[in-house]
């Protein structure tokens, strides 16, 4: 069976001759002129620190890794040979994550999975080398179903707030539509609901307008009024969020757009560059670090909000409608408060040391009223 080149093959290093412009010795036979000090060799500039690579929020799913490779591989194939560190910084990944993804891509391909049918990417002495596979060198034949699926996905993406009205992708899809069996404009109709609040938030971000919002907090089942300055709007796990400077807490906070009940303008403007910089710094931080303890809870009925209110490591839906969620906790005290709010509709599956935590905390609370 033919083998693919290893992702860690190392080529011989080329010796590169370097000349130093400073520090040359004075030719013998010449004396140093009187009254002039011997020139001091210039100090070597301090090495610049490498910019910190942004960390992702929690573990990456397989679909996220594949989606990332669909962007990384064409970028690499266009440039042929790029430093590993440069690629990691370009796509905001650690070098370990990038190597793992490229090794996965190197064993992907099409039948019969011979070396010429695999993705031609490997790492050579700190350089990422990528060549265009032969699969991409010949025209791709699409079925009618595949053609309509591509058209539908692109047109749906075009309806998302902030999408560019003109791009190379839209031009390519326009050509594709002319080749479809039914080139009529009504062959594919995309009807996506428009969110007026999302459009209002984007306009406020564009014009640096301060906003006053009414926000519903499901964990406390209450509404609060907040004054915010929009720093970043993003979509994650099927929901739209706004990362904003919250005047009430004095810090950057995430607000889910579908929980914003109303928006009003205060009439004030803010420094967009400063808020955007803080938002980017906040987005680079993990919601929950890998060093924190994990617990697995089973939630049902009135406690289902727990699965939506907090970032989870994993989530499994059971046949009876309950959900098993694994999340990271900051302390036992934080977990005990969460269990009290969930009541009888939340229970601890693991670790075993927390299974009786809710009962013991509830007993302690009742004792204070007797």
Reported as a pLDDT band with limits 50, 70 and 90, residue 185 is low
Looking at per-residue pLDDT, the higher value among 118 and 32 belongs to 118
Report CA-CA distances (Å) from 186 to 48, 115, 158, 189.
57, 43, 17, 6
Q: Read off the pTM.
A: 0.41
User: Count of CB atoms within 10 A of residue 328's CB?
Assistant: 19
Least confident of 239-243, 264-268, 293-297: 239-243
Residue 354: phi and psi, rounded to 5, are -105, 5
For every residue of 46-74, DSSP letters joined together read PPPPPPPPPPPSSPPPHHHHHHHHHHHHH
Tell me what the pLDDT averaged over the chain comes to. Answer: 77
pLDDT of residue 17: 39
Coil/strand/helix, residue 330: coil
| Angle subtended at Cα 55 by Cα 316 and Cα 205, rounded to the nearest 5 degrees | 95
Q: What are the residues whose beta carbons fall under 8 Å from the beta carbon of 66, sequence distance 6 or more? A: none
The closest of 201, 312, 194 to 260, measured between CA atoms, is: 201
The interaxial angle of helices 332-342 and 357-367, nearest 10 deg, is: 80
Residue 42 DSSP one-character state: P
In the chain, % of residues over pLDDT 70 = 72
Q: Which residues pair with 231 in a beta bridge?
A: none
pLDDT of residue 268: 92
The interaxial angle of helices 144-158 and 168-179, nearest 10 deg, is: 140
Looking at the chain, the number of H-run helices and the number of E-run strands are: 10, 12
pLDDT of residue 318: 92
- CATH 1.20.210.10, domain 62-137, yes or no: no
Looking at per-residue pLDDT, the higher value among 209 and 248 belongs to 209
Please give the CATH topology (third level) of the domain spanning 293-367. Answer: Alpha-Beta Plaits (3.30.70)
Question: Which range among 19-23, 84-88, 148-152, 171-175 has the greatest average pLDDT?
Answer: 84-88
Q: Is the pLDDT of residue 324 over 90?
A: yes
Exposure letters 30-39 (e unless 16+ CB within 10 A, then b): eeeeeeeeee
The mean per-residue pLDDT over the stretch 265-272 comes to 90
Q: Please return the burial class of 170, using the count of CB atoms within 10 Å of its CB with bins 0-12, 13-18 and 19+.
A: middle
Looking at per-residue pLDDT, the higher value among 17 and 37 belongs to 37
In the chain, % of residues over pLDDT 90 = 18
The mean per-residue pLDDT over the stretch 161-178 comes to 75
Structure tokens at 339: 């269990």
Which sign, positive or negative, has the C-alpha torsion 279, 285, 286, 287? negative
pLDDT of residue 215: 93
Looking at per-residue pLDDT, the higher value among 23 and 74 belongs to 74
Domain ranges of the chain: 62-137, 146-187, 196-283, 293-367
Looking at per-residue pLDDT, the higher value among 228 and 110 belongs to 228
Residue 89: phi and psi, rounded to 5, are -70, -35
pLDDT of residue 346: 93
> Whole-angstrom Cα distance, residue 303 to residue 346?
6
pLDDT of residue 326: 92
Q: What are the residues whose beta carbons fall under 8 Å from the beta carbon of 55, sequence distance 6 or more? A: 94, 284, 285, 286
Encode pLDDT of 35-89 as tens digits.
444 454 445 555 444 445 445 445 667 778 888 888 898 898 888 899 999 999 9
Encode pLDDT of 284-298 as tens digits.
554 445 567 889 999
Please give the CATH topology (third level) of the domain spanning 196-283. Answer: SH3 type barrels. (2.30.30)
Least confident of 74-88, 194-208, 350-364: 194-208
For every residue of 139-194, DSSP letters joined together read PPPPPHHHHHHHHHHHHHHHTSTT--SS-HHHHHHHHHHHHSSS--GGGS------
Encode pLDDT of 77-136 as tens digits.
888 899 999 999 999 888 988 998 998 888 887 777 777 778 888 888 899 998 876 666
Reported as a pLDDT band with limits 50, 70 and 90, residue 320 is very high
Q: Is the pLDDT of residue 21 over 50?
A: no
pLDDT of residue 182: 66
User: Count of CB atoms within 10 A of residue 292's CB?
Assistant: 12
Reported as a pLDDT band with limits 50, 70 and 90, residue 6 is very low
């Amino acid at each position: 069976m033919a083998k693919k080149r290893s992702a860690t093959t190392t080529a011989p290093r080329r010796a590169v001759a370097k000349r130093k412009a400073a520090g040359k010795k004075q030719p013998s036979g010449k004396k140093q002129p009187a009254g002039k000090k011997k020139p001091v060799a210039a100090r070597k500039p301090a090495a610049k620190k490498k910019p910190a690579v942004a960390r992702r929020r929690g573990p990456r799913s397989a679909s996220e890794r594949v989606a990332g490779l669909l962007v990384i591989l064409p970028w690499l194939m266009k440039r042929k040979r790029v430093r590993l560190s440069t690629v990691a910084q370009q796509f905001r990944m650690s070098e370990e994550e990038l190597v793992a993804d490229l090794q996965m891509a190197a064993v992907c391909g099409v039948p019969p999975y011979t070396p010429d049918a695999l993705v031609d990417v490997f790492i050579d002495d700190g350089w990422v080398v990528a060549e265009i596979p032969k699969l991409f060198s010949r025209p791709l034949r699409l079925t009618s179903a595949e053609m309509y699926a591509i058209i539908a996905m692109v047109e749906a993406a075009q309806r998302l707030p902030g999408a560019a009205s003109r791009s190379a992708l839209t031009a390519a899809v326009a050509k594709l539509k002319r080749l479809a069996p039914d080139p009529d404009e009504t062959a594919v109709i995309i009807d996506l609901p428009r969110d007026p609040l999302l459009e209002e938030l984007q306009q406020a971000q564009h014009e640096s307008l301060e906003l006053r919002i009414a926000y519903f907090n499901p964990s406390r089942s209450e509404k609060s009024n907040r004054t915010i300055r929009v720093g970043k709007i993003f979509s994650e796990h099927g929901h739209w969020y706004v990362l904003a400077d919250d005047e009430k807490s004095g810090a950057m906070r995430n607000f889910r757009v579908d929980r914003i009940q109303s928006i009003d303008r205060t009439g004030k403007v803010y420094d967009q560059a400063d808020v955007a910089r803080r938002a980017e710094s906040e987005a680079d931080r993990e919601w929950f670090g890998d060093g924190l303890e994990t617990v697995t809870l089973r939630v049902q009925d009135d406690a289902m909000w727990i699965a939506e209110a907090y970032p989870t490591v994993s989530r499994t839906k059971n046949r009876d409608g309950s959900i098993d969620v694994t999340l990271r906790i900051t302390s036992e005290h934080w977990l005990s408060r969460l269990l009290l709010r969930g009541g009888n509709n939340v229970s601890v599956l693991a670790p075993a040391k927390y299974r009786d935590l809710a009962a013991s905390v509830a007993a302690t609370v009742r004792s204070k009223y007797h």
